[in-house]
Structure 1
Amino acid sequence: MSYPDYEVAHVLERNREHLAHYCANSWQVRTLHALRKCRTAALGGHIDRCDNVRCHKLHLSYNSCRNRHCPKCQGHKKEEWIRAREADLLKVSYFHVVFTLPSGLNRLCLYEPKLVYNLLFKTAWSIIGDFGANPKFLGAKMGMIAILHTWGQNLSLHPHLHCIVPGGGIAKSGKWKPTKGKGKYLFPVRAMSKVFRARFVAGLRKELGKSKSRSFYESLFKNQWVVYCKRPFFGPSQVIEYLGRYTHKIAISNHRIKSLESGNVRFMVKDYRHGGKRTILELPDAEFIRRFSLHILSKGFTRIRHYGILSSYYKRTIIPGLQEELGKPEFKATEPLMHRRCPVCKQGNLVTIATFPARGPPQHWQEQIKKQLNRPNEKT
């Protein structure tokens, strides 16, 4: 794996005295400072030793911030989450459904993010659940995993919900009932789009009441709302690949940043209006940080949610039985996540033998590491 030359943290570090000027609240400021300090001496660290007797190299590492918005901290969390989901998968078709809010709601998202995003989750599940329960379309209890994304490629506000929906549900008889069309078709997208718009606006009226004008609500009906349903995945391995790409994704990865010169950030974007053509966008530091801050979610907000037969309760009570009935996908054996390979010998695992605070490692550890660095390379 190659490490990026430029990082979001570099932009934040060179603007550390002014971060508060680019944020809407103190929680965003705290988050940016955590990202700035990630894997630096400011957070302390630990010393690891390779457990291979022919190596025994010492490695000094700084602690991660473990913030969910950090580009450097998502890999391990993503792998843990994906492996947990592997155990829940059924040997059935899965669909990818996307619910997108119109740009006319962007301003409201800035001032009432919890209200809008919670309503987005609630509305999306009500549509999937009700369409599934309708005998005209299926007549069964369904499930859904929903993942909130709030950004577009250029870091502008673009709230949308990625949903993974099994191609079927549990009928009243307790047996699995597949969707119509032999798993190649979920529900009519136009019908879902109309219901999505009507239910979401009705939810806003209930939450906001007369604090918004009648013309505001009417304006939301001027254009069609977007619900996109992709063709089903080609088997469970593709579902897992999808989960890996979307679950712990953040607004921008470090690998997309191409240069940091003259107080500007140049990064790669895909222009989906022109077939996903790659171009370079350049923004001043202040604008880059402001846009990045738009996607810092409120403290404690849950951005990955499970519904119906994929909720925690049903996973314990119903999924095991369905896996016996329908079959359970098989995946290649993978190495335990707690093992960290030694980057020197590539054979041993790293074992933590000491930790240290922000003031740095004790003097005797520094001397040992210095001796090791000055020692001629040994054959492993």
Structure 2
Amino acid sequence: MESRSKAKHQNGSVADVLRKINLSARNFTVHQEKTLRALSYCRTSALGGHIDACDECGNMSISYNSCRNRHCPQCQGHKKEEWIRKREADLLPCSYYHLVFTLPEELNGLAIANPTLIYKTLFEAAWATLNQFGNTEGIQLGMIAILHTWGQNLSLHPHLHCIVPGGGIDHHGKWKKKVRTDKYLFSVKAMSKVFRAKFVASLRTCGITDRDLMDKLFSKNWVVYAKRPFGGPKQVIEYLGRYTHKIAISNHRIKEVTDKEVRFAYRDYRKGSEKKEMTLSHVEFIRRFSLHILPRRFVRIRHYGILSSSWKRGKLQNLQAELKVERRAFVPKTLFRKCRCCKEGNLVTIAIFGQRGPPQDFLFVTQPLSAK
């Protein structure tokens, strides 16, 4: 019987494309190949599974295990919800701003050759830029930065989405709101120049001093994009949910997977977000997808200043108390899953199986379902 996970992605998925090519025959790194294999095995018998039974109606079902890889289109929903619930406890009563720091395409070669260095420098240069402007205002700012490396057509396009509260801590340890709360946080042109200078200075410190590259980097304007402040804390949380655990391409954008090609939808932002479709060969599609596999253990969501981990250990709570913010306690989501048959009972795991599949005794009384 067909599983519901397949019905959900009837047009095709990233995993479908991966299963059509020989990964070993391609020029992937060990880490990239391991990641791609995990995605191709996700929610299939290759990873084993478990059999659940409802404690009310007794209905039994088979669920195949997910890969839980952070690059997998099928495994990000739960992580995103949990992360957002934790961030709700960190909100402050002020305007929040959205900034985007983008690297020029001249750095794409370095990003492919040494992604850890380039992406780490991107985080550091963005925060150093904001911190400098905050110090000019006499306040210690905070920032949540989320790394994205892709464009809509899966090209390499490294950029940081940053959420910044419109205020900070002054030299006396008191909360101070940013004066221009109805406009942009700081001058975009000024931030762009400082961001470029700090990033290039970091490259030189790391021994990257190619003169032609430096001339190209300084010959063009770097992009720091800014949006007007959000309406309130609720809008901040909703907005964060769109960016936190996003990946290069989601399965719903894939329109068709044939024996040789992949057709997917994308938006052309250079033409007013016009909706378009692109067709690529399986090999080219996966090559582009692999560009966005982050280095092992690389942290893609980082917190700085008054939103950093050290601040959250006590100082942030004291600040919220001073500002009379009602702090919501984080309540972990229950592990119980509701039965899809009766909608009342909870599913209880009664058996676990490996790659050989479920025990034969269960095959005639169970229905395959997608993994949770």
TM-score range, shorter chain: over 0.9
Give the Cα–Cα distance (whole angstroms) in 2 for the partners of residues 84 and 183 of structure 1: 27
Amino acid in the other structure paired with 1:35: L
Match of 2:282 in 1: 285
Change (3 A) 1:308 1:38: same
Residue 43 of structure 1 pairs with residue 47 of structure 2:
yes
> Are 1:310 and 2:307 matched, yes or no?
yes
Per the alignment, residue 128 of structure 1 pairs with: 130
| Same amino acid, percent of matched pairs | 58
Is 2:205 the counterpart of 1:199? no
One-letter amino acid matched to 1:40: T
Letter in 1 for 2:155: S
Counterpart of 1:361 in structure 2 is 358
Question: Which residue of structure 2 aligns with residue 233 of structure 1?
Answer: 230
Look up the equivalent residue of 1:163 and give its one-letter code. Answer: C
Q: 1:87 to 1:339 in 2, by over 3 A?
A: farther
Residues 322-353 of structure 1, C-alpha deviations (whole Å, 9 max, x = no match): 2223343788x999352322222223332222
- Report the number of matched residues: 361
Q: Secondary structure at the match of 2:206?
A: helix
Q: Distance in 1 between matches of 2:341 and 2:311?
A: 45
2:89 and 2:327 in contact (8 A); partners too: no
TM-score (ref. length: structure 2): 0.92
The residue number in structure 2 matching 1:141 is: 140
Describe the shift of the 1:347–1:327 C-alpha distance in structure 2 as closer, same or farther (beyond 3 A).
Answer: farther
SS at match of 1:266: strand
- Tell me: CA distance 1:315–1:365, structure 2 relative to 1, closer, same or farther (3 Å): same
Tell me how far apart the structure 1 counterparts of residues 86 and 230 of structure 2 sit (CA, whole Å). 19
Which of 8, 13, 23 in structure 1 is aligned with 2:19?
Answer: 13
* Aligned twin of 1:321: 318
Contact 1:146 1:304 in 2 (8 A): yes
User: What residue is the counterpart of 1:269 in the other structure?
Assistant: 266
Kindly provide the amino acid, as one letter, of the partner of residue 124 in structure 2: K
CA positional deviation for 1:261: 1.8
Match of 1:220 in 2: 217
- Counterpart-to-counterpart distance in 2, 1:335 and 1:310: 21
Post-superposition offset of 1:180: 1.4
Aligned in 2, Cα 1:334/1:281: closer, same or farther, shift over 3 Å?
farther
Deviation at 1:362, TM superposition (A): 2.4
Q: What is the aligned partner in structure 2 of residue 190 from structure 1?
A: 189
Q: Residues of 2 paired with 1:168 and 1:219: CA distance?
A: 36
CA distance, structure 2, for counterparts of residue 144 and residue 77 of structure 1: 20
Partner amino acid, structure 1, of 2:17: V
Secondary structure of 2:19's partner? helix
Secondary structure at the residue paired with 2:143? strand
* Deviations 1:16-73 (CA, angstroms, capped at 9, x unpaired): xx2134443111011100000000000010111223x2x2211210111010000001
Tell me the amino acid that sits aligned with residue 3 of structure 1: K
Q: Is the 8 A contact 1:180 1:186 kept in 2?
A: no
Structure 2 distance, partners of 1:188, 1:129, is 14
The structure 2 residue matched to 1:108, chosen from 98, 107, 110, is 110
AA at the equivalent of 2:175: W
RMSD of aligned C-alpha atoms? Answer: 2.0
Shift in Å, 1:316: 1.7
| 1:33 aligned to which of 19, 30, 37 | 37
Counterpart for residue 298 of structure 1:
295
Structure 2 portions without partners, runs of 5+: 368-372
What is the CA–CA distance in structure 2 between the aligned matches of 1:214 and 1:79, rounded to whole Å? 46
Per the alignment, residue 346 of structure 1 pairs with 343
Q: Is the 8 A contact 2:129 2:195 kept in 1?
A: yes
After superposition, the Cα gap between the structure-2 partners of 1:195 and 1:319, relative to the gap in structure 1 and judged at 3 Å, is same
**C-alpha separation in 2, matches of 1:147 and 1:337:** 27
Amino acid at match of 1:149: H
Letter in 2 for 1:371: V
| Structure 1 residue 372 displacement after superposition | 5.7
Pick closer, same or farther for the CA change 1:102–1:21 going to 2, 3 Å. Answer: farther
1: distance between equivalents of 2:327 and 2:312?
18
Unaligned 5+ residue runs, structure 1? 374-380
State the Cα deviation string for residues 197-243 of structure 1 (Å, max 9, x = none): 1111111111124xx42122111111100001111111112111111
Classify the secondary structure of the residue corresponding to 1:47: strand
Contact 2:96 2:163 in 1 (8 A): yes
SS in structure 1 at match of 2:126: helix
Give the direction of change, closer, same or farther, for the CA distance of 1:201–1:264 in structure 2 (3 Å limit).
same
Q: Distance in 1 between matches of 2:359 and 2:206?
A: 56
Residues 317 and 278 (structure 1), Cα distance of their counterparts in 2 relative to 1, 3 Å cut:
same
Q: 2:69 aligns with which of 67, 70, 76?
A: 67
Shift, 1:141, TM fit: 0.9
Between the aligned partners of 1:190 and 1:276, the Cα distance in structure 2 is 24
Normalised by the size of structure 1, how large is the TM-score?
A: 0.90
Whether contact under 8 Å (1:90, 1:327) holds in the other structure is no
